[in-house]
Amino acid sequence: MAFFLSLYFCPEIKYWHIDTNKMKKLILIACIAIISTGVAVHAADAENDKEMSETKNVVPDVSSSSNNKSLSEIQDNPDDVASSGDLGQLTKFAKAISRLTLGGYGEAVYTRNFYSDYWRRYSNAENYKDAKSHGRFDLPHVVFFVGYDFGKGWMLGSEIEFEHGGTESAIEMEAEEMGEYENEIERGGEVALEQFWIQKSFSRALNLRMGHIVVPVGLTNQYHLPTEFFTVYRPEGENTILPCTWHETGISVWGRTKNWRYEAQFLSGLDADRFGSEGFISDGSGSPYEFKIANVYAGAFRVDNYSVKGFRIGLSGYYGYSFRNSLTNNSKYDAYNGEVMIGSVDFHYNRYNLIVRGNFDWGHLNDSEEITRFNKTLQAGSPSSKTPIASDAVATGVEAGYDIFAHIKKLKKDKQKFYLFGRYEYYDSMAKVESGIIDYGWCGKQRIAVGVNYFPVKEIVIKGEYSRRIYKSQYNDEPSVSLGVAYSGFFTR
């Protein structure tokens, strides 16, 4: 790094003749680079002792000095660095670098599914009992995080997420079709701004966050990094009945004391047009438009307790209206609000080389029959699935993993980990339906998974698993084998 900086600031180094003053400047700038790198490494090492969820959502207040020169100022005026006050300039330069946080997480996955992927496999299950297997490569989530500490308690956090490899499209001229232009969809993923917020920190116990934020309802939404669950994909239950990762634009008040963490949020309500049979309310958080409709509002909360060493237990919930939060209105349904109520309990235990995690989530939707009837009246091309919607949904699961490398002295000293794990979950997006709603039996299922997680370093994990979805007797079970590699961490601090 010092070499490239020297080429930038001192282009004369490309020639054999170097005068003494230029050499002094070169050495000084090399020292700056080394000190900056040292500060970044020191901060990253210190952060490893904190919980990953905290580091992901909070840019640390590394420096509060408002008189520091920016990196660009130092680059534009290298002669100032080489003059008086060199040590002070070095310190200011290091602090300017330390204000910036870069990080992220990502997953690459291969899965072989030993069942049919035809869309009618549930309505005509017997016809697909002996279907051939099929395979898939996937990039479920690739996320980049950028944060900056402005000082005086003001911070910026942002995340951009590429789901399933992102999306690509192009306009092409088809020579074989009389030179017609065609719009080609070359990749069918998604790109989304998952977080963008400004935060004012008054103290560790009181922080105000404003912007696009993660809604911390359920275990997976609060702890969704690939190093925070054992399975190759995110746990299916919560990922099915809840938005995941759930992010909304709103205001959050949160804080942390010795044994407690709390958060309360004011948000836009969900969009009932996009509720459905298989996903319950999960699709209601997004928006197919260039803006998020906010005709109705909602609130969310989360409380975690850390009193017992190595153990955390959390309670979270959500309440808000969902009906009429769309561009389509019908006065016939003015009396209905479509209240969404969610309650969740989750825990995490990590001690004695054993990790155990679990969750229980229940969701309730008032006026589900009226919402189902209303959605079916929407025009063709609307974002609604127009499928029956349940009044209640449930998801529960538990996973446990044991680090066998803890008993191999050399590997333990090297901080490598190798977990053998098992997971069980049950979820049903149509756990309860109103009298006029069709109950799709295949929406209720169990899932078991066994596998391994290998951590060569803390930030990287290689995963392998065998899983099986277990349905009621009239449907076919769905076994699969998955392999994945993932990372989660900070590139600089």
CB 271 within 8 A of CB 382: no
pLDDT of 224 reads: 94
- Residue for token digits 């275990």? 219
pLDDT of 327 reads: 80
pLDDT of 86 reads: 67
pLDDT of 275 reads: 95
The rounded distance, in Å, linking the Cα atoms of 231 and 225 is: 11
Mean pLDDT by 10 residues, the chain (493 residues): 39 40 48 45 42 44 38 44 60 78 96 93 90 94 94 95 76 52 64 93 97 97 96 96 95 97 97 94 88 92 97 98 82 89 98 98 96 89 90 98 97 96 98 93 97 97 98 95 96 72
Strand partners, 142: 106, 162
Q: What pTM does this model have?
A: 0.79
The rounded distance, in Å, linking the Cα atoms of 269 and 242 is: 14
Residue type, 216: P
Cα-Cα-Cα-Cα dihedral sign, residues 429, 164, 235, 291? negative
pLDDT of 332 reads: 82
pLDDT of 170 reads: 56
SS3 for 91? helix
